[in-house]
Amino acid sequence: MSRVAVRSTLLLIACAVVLVACGGSQQSASTAGPTLARIAGTPDAPTVVTPNLIVLGGTDFPTGKTIRIPFQVAQKDGKILHPDGGTAQLYLGATATSPALGPYPVQQLSLKGAGITFELEDEETIMVAAEVPLPAAGAWTAVVTMKVAGKTVVASNQFSILPKEVTPAIGAAAPTARTPTLKDVGGDGTKISTARPLDLTLLQDSIPDLLAAQRPFVVAFATPQFCTSRLCGPVVDITRNIQRALQGTKMAFVHAEIYTDLDPSKGVAPWVLAWALPTEPWIFVVNAQGTITAKFEGSVTPAELEAAARAALAS
């Protein structure tokens, strides 16, 4: 199945999720304000149903954390919508009739950069709510409002806030599982990477070796050929772009694939299990002390990744 076909299938599934049981949990919002249904333009509706869909770029949403949420807004036919002025507002609600949390500011950010290629034009930007404090665990509904060609557009989707973080937390020690290198495959990078064009410089170092050498690194867990998310973005290209920007520093850059022997039928690789990745792609930034200083689920912009890598170098 092609990436476009997979994306279309995922979008239809996500649309179905919005239309089924968007009542959410019984957790109450902490601030009084308009209900989520009113914000969505249907004040008397018992559930939130909108003509457009929020396509979330992640699933690791733990209660009590303030996180970055990447997403796109799409029509039911899959067309991506772009907000006037590159801004929007995000709201969260436990139910359609409970007071909404927010608004949280959203910006549309560019993924463009030298050497970064896109299969589709709508991959060139991502919408990001940079700081969203997550409320109690359970089922919640997100609503985005924005202007498109001067008209108000509303989108929604249901998602889960988890009791605890799934992936290694910022501030935690990086897992030591070995990732494969060119030495393991006799120099044939096609055996350990589906990226095209192939960049052998991302296949030189294994994570435990970098940790032992106390060398900071950026690791991109991604499978360009088999990515099944609409928000994959050109993650390996972006990693390569920042590698060039930080050339001459101590920062190392690693690309690790998702599937054993590059074969989805064989399941995920041991290093993916060690890092407890529920989705892909993921990027982690680790400092010289072996501590995770930043992480990104789904798409990340070159500017975001460069800033995180430079901060790790300075820590």
Helix (H) or strand (E) holding 241: helix 235-245
* Domains, the chain, ordered by start: 3-161 (no CATH), 182-314 (3.40.30.10)
Is the pLDDT reported for residue 90 higher than 60?
Answer: yes
Q: For position 121, what pLDDT does the model report?
A: 75
Which pair of tokens denotes residue 32?
Answer: 């009084």
Across the beta sheet with 252-256, the strand order is: 252-256, 217-221, 282-286, 292-297
More confident residue, 186 or 44: 186
How many whole angstroms separate alpha carbon 287 and alpha carbon 252?
10
Average pLDDT over residues 117-126: 83
Q: What is the pLDDT of the chain when averaged over all its residues?
A: 89
Residue 227 pLDDT grade (very low, low, confident, very high; cuts 50, 70, 90): confident
How many whole angstroms separate alpha carbon 90 and alpha carbon 104?
5
Say what the pTM is: 0.88
Nearest residue to 71 via CA among 297, 231, 305, 228? 231
Which pair of tokens denotes residue 105?
Answer: 């500011």
* Strand 151-161 versus strand 52-56 pairing type: parallel
Cβ contacts of residue 61 below 8 Å, gap of 6+? 67, 69, 134, 159, 160, 161, 162
pLDDT in tens, 147-201: 999 999 999 999 999 999 999 999 999 999 999 999 999 999 999 999 988 999 9
What is residue 180's DSSP assignment? -
What are φ and ψ of residue 182, in 5° steps? -60, -35
Residue 236 pLDDT grade (very low, low, confident, very high; cuts 50, 70, 90): very high
Count of beta carbons in the 10 Å neighbourhood of residue 275: 23
